[in-house]
Structure formats: C-alpha cells, structure tokens
Structure 1
Amino acid sequence: MKILYVFPHPDDESFGPAPAIAAQRRKGHEVYLLTLTKGEATKQRFRLGINKKEMGEIRYKEMQCVEKVLDLNGMTVLELPDSGLKEMDPTDIEKVIREQVQYIKPDVLVTYAVHGISGFEDHLVSHAVVKSVYCDLKREGIDYPKRLAFFTHYSEKEGEGKFNLSSSKQGDIDCWIEANEDDYQKFLSALDCYETYQEVIEDSNVKEEVGYRVPFEIFQEDFDPALTDLGDQLDT
C-alpha cells in the first residue's frame, strides 16, 4: 500500500504522526511525504541571526535527516511561502499537490484534520486544498487515492498546555495506529533531526505527549470499532 502525507512545514511529519509512519514502514507500506514549504518563516531565524532563505535551507537539510530516520520511500519539499498559504490562490496549491498525487498514485492520502490541531492557518489551508484535490479526483472517476485520512490529536483535556491544541471527538476517530518501541524511538530520533528547533520541541513537550497510539479520522467513512491500519477494509 502507498501512503502520501501532505503537510505545510518541516517537522509537521514528526510532531505526532512519526510513530505511525515508522509503524507503516515496518509493516511494509510505502510512505511518501510532500511538504509545501521549507518552514523559513519560523521565529527561530531571529535567534540564529539568519534570513528566511538561509533558514529554509537549514530546515531542508534537517528534513533530509528525517527522511533517512523514518526510512521514507520518497520526499518532496516545495518552496511555497511559509505562513503565506492563505494569501495564495488555492488552485495554485492544489495544482502542485495534484501533480504529486498523480506521480505517486497513493492508495491513501493524509493531511491535517479540519482544526489543524494547532489552529495554525497554514495547517487549515492544507486541510482544505488536499480535500479539494481528493474530491476533484473522485468526481473525475480517477481510482486513486482510494481513501483520504486526517492526522489528528485526541485528549480528554483539550485546550490545556502552552500550545492550546485542538482535539477530534473520540467518535470521529476512525483509526488508531499502534507503534512499538522501535517505532517510538524513530519518532524521537526524527525530532532530534531538527537541531535548530529543539527549543520549540522542548517547550511543546511533544516527546512526552505523543504516545504509542496515533489517531486518524477518515473522510466520508465511519468505523466503530476503529481500524488499526489505514489500509484496513480498503476496496482494492
């Protein structure tokens, strides 16, 4: 099975879904990553005293480390404007996503849930444009992707913590991917690749908050009990 993750920034693939990605690779699935920006607008550039272009290149190199750690089958990093996706014509974003989808022909397409977890505008735009691409392909009768899934967050204590994360309702979660110890260690190693982002990683407490079960919603499908793999009950 081929899975394509689409996120707006470097580190989005590591802040939560990395244990699931590691588990998917361990199970033999092909996993690809499309990142829309180089994350050049991060405030960490001020701490480092560098400009956006330099920051983007550093973060791209950090992503190359992640690509190896998570054993991705392929990774594409675009140069759309970090923190500026909302100002773009969405059809321009959809075009580049569609090109990647048509190249890889994934069985499952994955992006952020509708709330974007952190609420960051680039996350919300990514949800909207990926969903639009998926629906367009379905209307055209193209037989891939077969499923659209949304990486999400679940906590019974929504809104607590420094970053005020949003959670999906328990009933909306259609798949929980279980990671083992090796998968979890790859998640930690992926975060370690982001050397310039360690201050944010520590502040977010992500290493403690992300557990061994990663939740996903599945678009226009409802599973109770929840699936344990994004390829389960997929019409192939």
Structure 2
Amino acid sequence: MKIMYIFPHPDDESFGPAGVINKQIEEGNEVILLTLTKGGATKVRHQLGLSIEEMGAVREKEMLRVQQTLAISQMTILDYEDGGLAKVNPILLEKELTKWIEKYNPTVVITYPVHGGSGHHDHIALHHSIKHLFYHKPNALSSWKRLAYFTVIDTGLPMFLEGGIPRVTQTKKENVAVTLQLSESNIGAMKKALLCYDTYQEMVKTTNVIDRIGSYTHFELENEKHSKVLSSITELITI
C-alpha cells in the first residue's frame, strides 16, 4: 500500500518516525513524504550565522540525504513560511494538501496528533487542516482510507525542551490504536536518518530521541475503534 507522511518541517520524519518508515518499506509498502516548509527559521541558524533562506537550503540538502538513506520513493519539499502555517488561509492550505494527496494517491496519510507532538503551531495547524480534509475529501481522494497520527505515549517525561521548559503534550496509552515493534535494523535506520542532519546533532543528543522512541512506534487513528491494538498501520484496511 501507499503510505504518505505529511509534516511541516525537515527532520520531522527522522525524529521518531524514521524507524517505522524503514519497517513499512521493508514490508513492501511505498512510503511518500510531503514537507510543507524548508525549516529555515530554526534557531540553529543563529549558531551557524545563516539567514532563514540559507538555513532552509541546508536543511533541504540534509533531507534529500534522508530520502536516500530510508529509500523513500517520492518526496516533495514545499516552501511555506517556517513558523507561519497557522497564518495561512486554511482553505488555501487544504487546496495545497488536496493537490499533493491526489498526486500521490495514498491509502494511508500520517501526520501529527492534535497536540502536535511538541506543541509547535505549525504541527497543530497542519493537523487540523488534514483532519478537516479527511472528513470533507473530494472524490479525487477516494483511495485515502485511513488518517493516522504519529505519537509518543505519555510517560510524564518531556520529549522536547525549549529553554529548559517542556513543550510537549503526549498521548495517553488508551488512545493508541496502532503499535509497531521495531527491529534492530529499523532502529539503526533511524540513527542513520538522524545523522543526515549535521546541523541538528546537538538536538539529537539533548532530546535523547533514540532512547525515547525505543523499540516501539505508536499511532492514533482518526474515527476508528478496534477491539485490540493493531500491529500494522495498514491492518484491517479493505481496498
């Protein structure tokens, strides 16, 4: 099946989902990635002495390395304002999303849950646009059967910090609908993907993302109730 990840920034696909992307490709699925910004507004640019445009170009190159590392079949990087998705007319944003989902024709679309994973306004704005589109999708998007949210189970510990302050609302265990176990090779793929971001290695260390994800990746499902936690993002989908 075709699985399409839609995220706001470069590195969103690697800080957590990279291991499960590797697993999904190993299982014979085609994985597609759409990123709405080049992520140039990151504070890392100040340390490097780069403008937003220059930093965006660096992150785009890093992300292209991730595509090769994970063998993502198709990838598109748009150039919306980093940090500005919440200011975009949501009707126009949904039209943009419709265009790309229609182009790639996925069965499953994956993005962030309602809290955005880190509380970032770009993550939250994208969540709401995709969720609204899922319920009002035109006939052209009829192949889209499932909307899933990559998430991290709440342990009481923050995954991301800003200025030493936790900025993440995580998902309660009872809201998890899919849990996939990662192999050592899947975890190794996540490590390789994270290494593609030369400019973010300090963030990799401070977030402790590899240990935080561990051997399991979790998803919520939109408008689905099942008697058991599923073990695949495509389980029980009928074409």
Q: Which residue of 2 aligns with 1:221?
A: 224
Identity of aligned residues (%): 37
* Partner-residue secondary structure (3-state), 1:137: coil
* Partner of residue 154, structure 1: 153
User: 1:40 maps to what in 2?
Assistant: 40
Shift in Å, 1:50: 1.0
Letter in 2 for 1:94: E
**What is the alpha-carbon distance in structure 1 between the residues aligned to residue 180 and residue 229 of structure 2?**
10
| CA distance in 2 between partners of 1:161 and 1:102 (Å) | 33
Change beyond 3 A, Cα 1:221–1:62: same
Q: 1:52 to 1:105 in 2, by over 3 A?
A: same
Q: Contact (CA 8 Å) 1:158, 1:167: kept in 2 or not?
A: no
Do 2:159 and 2:212's aligned partners in 1 also have CA atoms closer than 8 Å?
no
Displacement, 1:179? Answer: 1.3
Task: Tell me how far 1:165 sits from its aligned partner.
Answer: 2.5
Task: Give the Å deviation of 1:158.
Answer: 4.6
- Matched residue SS, 2:32: strand
CA distance in 1, matches of 2:14, 2:159: 21
Q: Aligned in 2, Cα 1:161/1:15: closer, same or farther, shift over 3 Å? A: closer
- Which stretch has the larger CA shift, 66-75 or 129-138? 129-138
Residue 208 of structure 1: which of 208, 211, 220 is its match?
Answer: 211
Q: CA deviation at 1:152?
A: 0.8
Counterpart CA distance in 1 for 2:179 and 2:227 is 11
How many positions carry a matched residue from both structures? Answer: 235
The farther-off stretch of 46-55 and 152-161 is: 152-161
Alignment of 1:184-199 (within 5 A): 184-199=187-202
Residue 69 (1) aligns with residue 74 (2)? no
Deviation at 1:160, TM superposition (A): 7.4
C-alpha distance in structure 1 between counterparts of 2:65 and 2:88, whole Å = 29
Moved more, 161-170 or 178-187: 161-170
Distance of 1:23 and 1:157 partners within structure 2: 27
> Do the aligned residues in 2 keep the contact of 1:110 with 1:148 (CA within 8 Å)?
yes
Aligned CA distance change for structure 1 residues 79 and 161 (closer, same or farther; 3 Å): closer
- Summarize the alignment of residues 106-145 of structure 1 with structure 2, pairs less than 5 Å apart: 106-137=106-137, 140=139, 142-145=141-144
Contact 2:105 2:143 in 1 (8 A): yes
Q: Say if 1:68 and 1:226 are closer, same or farther in 2 by CA, change over 3 A.
A: same
Q: Secondary structure at the match of 2:136?
A: helix
**Which ranges of structure 2 fall in alignment gaps of 5 or more residues?**
none
Q: TM-score w.r.t. structure 2 length? A: 0.94
Tell me the equivalent position of 2:173. Answer: 170
Aligned residues: CA RMSD:
1.5
| Residue range with higher mean Cα deviation, 185-194 or 127-136 | 127-136
The letter for the 2-side match of 1:110 is I
1:23 paired with 2:36, answer no
CA deviation after TM superposition for structure 1 residue 233, in Å: 0.4
* Equivalent pair of 2:105/2:141 in contact (CA under 8 Å): no
Structure 1 stretches of 4+ with a deviation exceeding 4 A read: 158-161
- Change in Cα spacing, 1:171 to 1:49, as seen in structure 2 (3 Å) is same
Structure 2 residue identity aligned to 1:168: T
When residues 24 and 207 of structure 1 are mapped into structure 2, their CA distance, relative to the original with a 3 A threshold, is: same
Post-superposition CA distance 1:207-235 (Å, at most 9, x none) = 22111110000100022321111110012
Any gaps of 5 or more consecutive residues in structure 1?
none
Instruction: Look up the equivalent residue of 1:192 and give its one-letter code.
Output: L
Q: Is the 8 A contact 2:118 2:160 kept in 1?
A: no
